[in-house]
Amino acid sequence: GEDVEQSLFLSVREGDSSVINCTYTDSSSTYLYWYKQEPGAGLQLLTYIFSNMDMKQDQRLTVLLNKKDKHLSLRIADTQTGDSAIYFCAESIYSGGGADGLTFGKGTHLIIQP
Amino acid sequence: DTAVSQTPKYLVTQMGNDKSIKCEQNLGHDTMYWYKQDSKKFLKIMFSYNNKELIINETVPNRFSPKSPDKAHLNLHINSLELGDSAVYFCASSPLKGLAGVGGQQFFGPGTRLTVL
């Protein structure tokens, strides 16, 4: 079955880089996603990567995908207090077309120290 | 304009009651979903509908019944509410997979916090 694993907490100092890691099991996943959830809010898509890519960069965000190891990471450069949130890694659970649902990891709570 | 909206935002009710949560999307998407987020923030898919047809039904008790009157709406009706149903319920929508290269991105509503007493 599909499973997505993440560490539950990450603490970094303001201005440092944050690296959030994720492993997944479904090798047929076409897309992998990072969602952000701020306290009391819904989920916001941060970025996604197609499975034939190794890396994607979008301003302060860098996504690295190691398909062989089924490992996905999200790097946030120059971490700010506004980055404090829960970050969810997700993969599509049905890759054959139609209504793909997402399997989410348990979420990584990013804590920013001043 | 809100893309995916849910009502109500908060719902407090007694055990045994029947309640509904409504979801609407104005994005013209074909597919809609319901997810449940428990107190530990774990998110799991419950249902998905593609153009008013049920596609995914994960192991959800049949007290939960999704209803899709049209492509833009997917409501969640819950019978005989139990304490364990307390959670935040998220609705989401997405275009058909593969369209416009958006990678099956899902757009989430703000969530409905259900508290069963």
CA A16 to chain B, closest CA, distance in angstroms equals 26
A14, pLDDT greater than 60: yes
Across B45-63, average pLDDT: 81
Cβ(A88)–Cβ(A7) under 8 Å?
A: no
Residue A108 with chain B: CB contacts under 8 Å: none
User: For residue A39, what pLDDT is reported?
Assistant: 87
User: For residue A2, what pLDDT is reported?
Assistant: 56
Angstrom distance (rounded) from CA B83 to CA A70: 37
Lowest mean pLDDT among A16-20, A97-101, B32-36: A97-101
- Does residue A41 belong to the interface with chain B, where contact is any CB pair within 8 Å? yes
* CA gyration radius, chain B: 14
Q: Tens digit of pLDDT for each residue in B2-15?
A: 689 999 999 999 99
Across B97-113, average pLDDT: 70
User: For residue B9, what pLDDT is reported?
Assistant: 94
Mean pLDDT for all residues in chain A: 88
Angstrom distance (rounded) from CA A87 to CA A8: 9
User: For residue A100, what pLDDT is reported?
Assistant: 64
Cβ of B110 within 8 Å of Cβ of A41? The answer is yes
User: For residue A93, what pLDDT is reported?
Assistant: 61
Structure-token pair, residue A13? 């100092």
pLDDT band, very low/low/confident/very high, at B57 (cuts 50, 70, 90): confident
- Does residue A102 belong to the interface with chain B, where contact is any CB pair within 8 Å? yes
A59, pLDDT greater than 80: yes
One-letter amino acid for residue A92 of the chain: S
User: For residue A29, what pLDDT is reported?
Assistant: 66
Across B72-94, average pLDDT: 95
- Does residue A29 belong to the interface with chain B, where contact is any CB pair within 8 Å? no
